[in-house]
Structure 1
Amino acid sequence: MLYVDIPSREEFLLLSDVRSDACVTIYIETSPLHQELATSKIQLGNFIKDALLQLEAAHFDKRRLALLEEQLYSVLDDPSFWDLHAYSLAILATPDSIRTYRLANVIPNQLHVSERFYLKPLLRALTFPHSAYILALSENQARVIEFFADVPAEEMNVANMPANVLEAVGKASLNVQKYGGVDDKVRLAQYTRQIDHALRPIFAQHDYPLILVSAEPLASIYRATNTLSNLVDETLFTNAEHIGTSELVKMVRPIMDKYYQTQLDALKPLFELRSGQRRVTTDLSDAARFATLGAIDLLLIDIDSNIPGTINEQGIITFAEKSDITTYGVIDEIVRLALATGARVMAVRQQDLPAGKSLHAILRYAL
């Protein structure tokens, strides 16, 4: 089981607005297995020492430095904190506060010290939160499992959803594979239609994907009666009656990854269309200027790219040779400006962007 707690979009914006005399951002690779966390704790201890040394070298106020040290070690030295983890840990600390987030995606170990937090890696968790519903369906059992990013997976009690085909249609035995009768198929369709109706209120409130786990012929019958746009195209073909909740979540995660990649692939024709309308840019300087003007509609950024510098109020970038406490990631700032003006932002891998580019933006109007 993964234990994760990612920030919401609103919380991300609040974090992006934080300014302090010292903002320490740490990302650590972790593991759901408690016995494998020793390496993560050693790495965190090394990053804490490195951050404090950087600030000492910059003649940082000693009293403020002591407060920051206390905040950081409050995480490292807390045994209960290390009980439950996922695949990455984000730590955001100032001398006055500290926040931590456990993430389902793997983020390489890294340390950043600046006057603001380095938040771009968190965007991957917001872009693809690995949150979904599973419909584990058989003639004898219908289960809905939710695995949100911020709570452990659990089976739901869905109002008005039949527990099995017998409850739905009142027939004791339906064996389509053996008999293949039209009457049996009609009753199975009644069963799946009742399930579809019961699920509608859930997906009226959430847009998370729904993954079907079922064997044939019931899987095809369910898809024929489904009206939910959230249903993922791929099915996990297996009888889930004797598969536990945690194991089902592990089994569907590859389907989730394919689903997210399909979403990215679907954006390529849109970028081609907008490019012909002169509404696309891959230039950092142009993107900074347009973000300042509130002109970005959709922004894809390379999650692994970190380009130090600053951006002034007119959106002009001053690049820096290396990161220090006076600079920050300029892509982070472009993201902050774009989000603040209602843009959709997605953190992706380099292969999902034009070759050699750190971002790809669709504008609200022509250049």
Structure 2
Amino acid sequence: MEQLGYFDDITADDLKAMAAATGPKVTIYLPTAPPQHQPQDTATRVKSLVNEARRKLVNAGVPESDAKDMMASFDAIATDAPFLRQQGESLALFAAKGLNLVYRLGVPVAEYTHVAEHFVLRPISETLTKSHSFYILGVSQNKVRLLDATKDSVVQLDLQDIVPESFEEVTNTDDRQATLQNRSVGSNGTMFHGHGGIADSQDAEVSRYFHKVGDSLGDLLGRARSQPMVLAGVAENVTALKASSSYPVVAEDFISGNPDSVSNRELQKSGWEVVRPHFAANDDAAFGRFADVSGTGLGETQPDVIREAAVAGRIDTLFINPSLNASDGTGDVNTAILHTKLNSGDIVIISDGRVENVAALMRY
């Protein structure tokens, strides 16, 4: 199964654990995208960054034995060959007393080690923008592929025996042979019984196949999802899938051509170009709602005020300027990111200058 990389979800339970952590907190970021970084190189740099974090903990007043205990579980990463080979764009390590979290992520980061009273989340805030996820369904008669993608990542999903994997899986071979019963007409060839013969029968089976694929998508993914789906295939197949799809959000544009020889990475890049205007429009609409209430208390740009609102669960949408470095500012923005997600708020990346640092649209 070809995929763009290996990616780990930052779950709601992980966010709760991060928010509940007390005392000094460690954040380590490490770029791991090939070909610049090979497994052995990554192992060496993990060791170096973990040792650096230990020194910073001790300098922050943590007893040396406690600092060693806090970072002990990360030492195993440097000797875990399969894990080191299976990387995405970056590696993120978070530690606090009684807490160690490791993530392989799809966003590029700069090498970074930080010890403070907060975790540093700004550099990976884009991984928390679940509103920018999309599906890609690649379909031909030979193969069905379903991908879960973002701008930076793609993973192939298991069809779980719910969505057919190919035309042959839907077609009953015995029924097909019975339909195509033929009789000999001497040495001139074969004549098939029935009006239209083999062509009509084949067309009916192909139509049934695409109907089955489209109709089963809702059973696999849910029939009330808002994550858009991009179809990849020849035009007539895409038309048939759109007509029968039980999944509610199928993009109008599609990736044209037979997808069988196209890699997951190539489909992800093409799919992002299809959905990018959709996401941009949604982000613009959200920022428009913020602009309408800016200065009224429902639209805020002060980081300390935003942090307090996030902790109280008041933030509907948090807008982040990704151009600032991880070390810019205090822990206000990082705390706001954590608690916005913890309280089911949205995060939107605004990189065109409309947001100087951070902004927030309040629920109340």
Q: TM-score, normalised by structure 2?
A: 0.74
* 3-state SS, counterpart of residue 251 of structure 2: strand
Match of 2:263 among 238, 248, 269: 248
1:11 aligns with 2:14: yes
Which residue in the other structure is 1:314 paired with?
none
Shift of 1:27: 0.8
Q: State the structure with more CA Rg.
A: 2
Contact preservation (8 Å) 1:271, 1:280: no
Shift of 1:145: 2.7
Which residue in the other structure is 1:200 paired with?
218
Shift of 1:214: 0.5
Shift of 1:91: 1.0
Change (3 A) 1:159 1:340: closer
Change (3 A) 1:3 1:32: farther
1:263 aligns with 2:266: no
**RMSD of Structure 2 on Structure 1 (CA):** 3.8
1:159 aligns with 2:162: yes
Query: 2: distance between equivalents of 1:333 and 1:193?
Result: 48
Which residue in the other structure is 1:287 paired with?
306
**Letter of the aligned partner of 1:60 in structure 2?**
V
Query: 2: distance between equivalents of 1:154 and 1:341?
Result: 28
Change (3 A) 1:41 1:11: same
Contact preservation (8 Å) 2:218, 2:245: no
- The 5 A counterparts of 1:187-226 are 191-204=209-222, 207-226=226-245
Shift of 1:130: 8.1
Query: 1: distance between equivalents of 2:61 and 2:305?
Result: 36
* 3-state SS, counterpart of residue 254 of structure 2: strand
Change (3 A) 1:81 1:157: closer
Shift of 1:92: 1.4
Query: 2: distance between equivalents of 1:299 and 1:364?
Result: 11
Contact preservation (8 Å) 1:144, 1:158: no
Query: 1: distance between equivalents of 2:100 and 2:309?
Result: 32
Contact preservation (8 Å) 1:292, 1:338: yes
Shift of 1:40: 2.9
Query: 2: distance between equivalents of 1:55 and 1:194?
Result: 58
Which residue in the other structure is 1:74 paired with?
76
Which residue in the other structure is 2:317 paired with?
298
Query: 2: distance between equivalents of 1:63 and 1:134?
Result: 49
* 3-state SS, counterpart of residue 282 of structure 2: helix
Query: 1: distance between equivalents of 2:244 and 2:221?
Result: 16
Which whole-Å deviations, capped at 9, do the CAs of 1:266-291 have from their partners, x for residues lacking one? 23134324533444233324423433
Contact preservation (8 Å) 1:298, 1:345: yes
- The 5 A counterparts of 1:129-208 are 133-138=135-140, 140-147=141-148, 153=156, 155-159=158-162, 161=164, 163-164=166-167, 167=171, 191-204=209-222, 207-208=226-227
Identify unmatched segments of 5+ residues in structure 2: 181-198
**Letter of the aligned partner of 2:162 in structure 1?**
A
**Letter of the aligned partner of 2:220 in structure 1?**
I
Change (3 A) 1:257 1:132: closer
Q: Percent identity?
A: 16
Which residue in the other structure is 2:250 paired with?
231
Query: 2: distance between equivalents of 1:97 and 1:15?
Result: 8
Which residue in the other structure is 1:354 paired with?
354
Contact preservation (8 Å) 1:188, 1:221: no
Shift of 1:123: 3.4
* 3-state SS, counterpart of residue 162 of structure 2: coil
Change (3 A) 1:47 1:129: farther
Contact preservation (8 Å) 1:34, 1:83: no
Shift of 1:25: 1.0
Query: 2: distance between equivalents of 1:5 and 1:295?
Result: 28
* 3-state SS, counterpart of residue 91 of structure 1: strand
Shift of 1:63: 1.7
Which whole-Å deviations, capped at 9, do the CAs of 1:54-79 have from their partners, x for residues lacking one? 33334431221332453342322443
Query: 2: distance between equivalents of 1:282 and 1:329?
Result: 15
Which whole-Å deviations, capped at 9, do the CAs of 1:198-225 have from their partners, x for residues lacking one? 2121231655443312113322343344
* 3-state SS, counterpart of residue 361 of structure 1: strand
Change (3 A) 1:54 1:9: same
Query: 1: distance between equivalents of 2:82 and 2:218?
Result: 40
Shift of 1:358: 1.7
Query: 1: distance between equivalents of 2:309 and 2:342?
Result: 13
Change (3 A) 1:34 1:167: farther
Query: 1: distance between equivalents of 2:212 and 2:67?
Result: 61
Which residue in the other structure is 1:23 paired with?
25
Identify unmatched segments of 5+ residues in structure 1: 173-180, 309-321
Change (3 A) 1:269 1:151: closer
**Letter of the aligned partner of 1:119 in structure 2?**
L
Contact preservation (8 Å) 1:72, 1:93: no
